[in-house]
C-alpha cells in the first residue's frame, strides 16, 4: 500500500511539474501572439499608407491618349 501511495505521489508531482511548464510556455506564447498581432497591425497601416501614396501618385500621372 505504501509503495502504491509513493508511486501515486510521484505521478502527481510529475503532473504538477508538467502543468507549471505548460503554463509558462502558454504565457510565453500569449506574449508572442500579442507582439505578432501588434506587428501585423503596424504593417497593415504601413501598407494602407503606401497604397494611398501610390493612388495619389497615379492620379498625378498624365492621361494616356489613345
Q: List per-residue pLDDT tens for the chain, 66 residues long.
A: 889 999 999 999 999 999 999 999 999 999 999 999 999 999 999 999 999 999 999 999 988 776
What are the start-end ranges of the E strands in 1-66? none
Q: Return the HEC string of the chain.
A: CHHHHHHHHHHHHHHHHHHHHHHHHHHHHHHHHHHHHHHHHHHHHHHHHHHHHHHHHHHHCCCCCC
Kindly report the pTM of this predicted structure: 0.69
Amino acid at each position: 500500500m505504501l509503495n502504491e501511495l509513493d508511486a501515486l505521489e510521484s505521478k502527481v508531482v510529475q503532473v504538477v511539474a508538467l502543468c507549471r511548464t505548460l503554463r509558462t510556455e502558454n504565457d510565453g506564447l500569449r506574449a508572442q501572439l500579442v507582439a505578432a498581432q501588434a506587428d501585423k497591425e503596424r504593417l497593415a497601416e504601413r501598407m494602407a499608407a503606401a497604397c494611398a501614396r501610390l493612388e495619389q501618385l497615379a492620379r498625378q500621372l498624365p492621361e494616356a491618349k489613345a
